[in-house]
C-alpha cells in the first residue's frame, strides 16, 4: 500500500482551498455566478507542440488572479521540459498523464497520474509531460499572471 505524503496532501488541499475562495470572491465581485459552457470554448493548437490543444476556461496568462486552462494531448504527445513562474494544480480528467520533474526528458523518471488524480507543479521547477498510453485531458489552475518557459537544450 502506498503511503500518503501528508506534506503533498496539505499542499494540494491548500491550493484547492485558495482556488475555491478566489472563485467565490470573483463571483461576488460580479454580483452573480459565472457560467462557463465548455462546448463553446475555442481550442488552440500551438505549432511548437504536435498533438496538443488547449483552451482558457477562466482568466488568461496576463491577468492577475485565478486562471483555469484545459489541455488535450493526443496519444503519444509530449510537452518538453518547461517551467512556470507560479505553482499549478493539475487534475487529470481522462486518460493517464505521465509527468517528470527535471530539465531533461527521462522516461524512466515519470509519475503516472490517472484520471481523477491530481498533482502540483511547484513554481519555477522544470517538468515534462507525456500522454504515453493514449489521449489524455487535464485541467490546470493557478494564480496569474503566468507563463510557460521552455527549457533550452
Q: What pLDDT does 16 receive?
A: 43
Burial class (CB in 10 A: 0-12, 13-18, 19+), 69: buried
Q: What pLDDT does 37 receive?
A: 85
The 3-state DSSP composition of the chain as helix, strand, coil percent (nearest 5) reads 20, 40, 40
Question: Could you tell me the pLDDT band of residue 46, with boundaries at 50, 70 and 90?
Answer: very high
Residue 56's nearest CA partner among 74, 36, 30 is: 36
Dist. CA 37–CA 34, nearest whole Å? 10
Quote the mean pLDDT of the chain: 86
Question: Could you tell me the pLDDT band of residue 10, with boundaries at 50, 70 and 90?
Answer: very low
Say if residue 145 is preceded by a cis peptide, omega within 30 of 0. Answer: yes
Task: Name the more confident of 152 and 31.
Answer: 152
- Reduced to 3 states, what is the DSSP secondary structure of residue 50? coil
Question: Could you tell me the pLDDT band of residue 153, with boundaries at 50, 70 and 90?
Answer: confident
Question: Could you tell me the pLDDT band of residue 65, with boundaries at 50, 70 and 90?
Answer: very high
Residue 64 has pLDDT above 50, yes or no: yes
Distance of CA 44 to the CA centre of its chain: 16
Q: What pLDDT does 30 receive?
A: 61
List, in order of start, the domains of the chain with CATH numbers.
6-150 (2.60.120.10)
- Say how many residues make up the chain: 153
Q: What pLDDT does 112 receive?
A: 98
Amino acid at each position: 500500500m502506498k503511503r500518503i505524503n501528508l506534506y503533498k496532501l496539505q499542499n494540494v488541499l491548500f491550493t484547492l482551498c485558495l482556488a475555491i475562495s478566489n472563485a467565490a470572491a470573483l463571483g461576488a465581485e460580479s454580483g452573480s455566478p459565472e457560467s462557463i459552457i465548455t462546448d463553446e470554448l475555442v481550442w488552440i493548437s500551438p505549432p511548437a507542440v504536435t498533438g496538443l490543444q488547449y483552451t482558457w476556461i477562466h482568466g488568461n496568462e496576463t491577468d492577475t488572479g485565478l486562471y483555469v486552462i484545459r489541455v488535450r494531448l493526443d496519444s503519444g504527445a509530449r510537452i518538453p521540459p518547461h517551467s512556470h513562474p507560479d505553482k499549478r494544480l493539475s487534475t487529470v480528467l481522462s486518460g493517464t498523464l505521465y509527468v517528470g520533474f527535471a530539465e531533461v526528458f527521462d522516461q524512466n523518471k515519470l509519475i503516472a497520474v490517472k484520471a481523477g488524480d491530481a498533482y502540483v507543479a511547484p513554481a519555477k521547477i522544470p517538468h515534462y509531460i507525456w500522454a504515453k498510453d493514449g489521449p489524455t485531458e487535464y485541467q490546470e489552475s493557478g494564480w496569474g499572471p503566468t507563463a510557460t518557459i521552455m527549457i533550452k537544450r
